[in-house]
Amino acid sequence: MPTISSFYGIIIVMYLRDKEHNPPHIHAITQDFEAPFQLSDGEIMEGYFPLKAQSMVKEFIAKYRTELEEMWETENYRKLPPLN
């Protein structure tokens, strides 16, 4: 599970594609919560994640959607800058 980025106590990871399921997504993790978020629109797929943190994850996905989709397809993971 490569760590793609971290910011404001949120860790963004992407699991290996052959062990995951569609649609393309990332997982956002905090000390107390974990949830998958779709790359297509940044929406939470299931579970609960605090609203302010959801908003930041959605902003991160919007900013780096192209890079995240490429990582999902190629499994060439790399670190992305955090939100400022």
Does residue 46 or residue 19 have the better pLDDT? 46
The answer to whether the CB of 35 falls within 8 A of the CB of 47 is yes
pLDDT confidence of residue 29: 97
pLDDT confidence of residue 84: 83
pLDDT band at 18 (very low <50, low <70, confident <90, very high): low
pLDDT confidence of residue 1: 78
Q: What is the mean pLDDT of residues 9-36?
A: 89
Q: Residue 84: in which H helix or E strand, if any?
A: none
pLDDT of residue 17 exceeding 80: no
The separation between CA 38 and the C-alpha centre of its own chain, rounded to angstroms, equals: 8
The answer to whether the CB of 67 falls within 8 A of the CB of 73 is no
Q: What is the mean pLDDT of residues 33-52?
A: 96
Q: Residue 58: in which H helix or E strand, if any?
A: helix 51-74
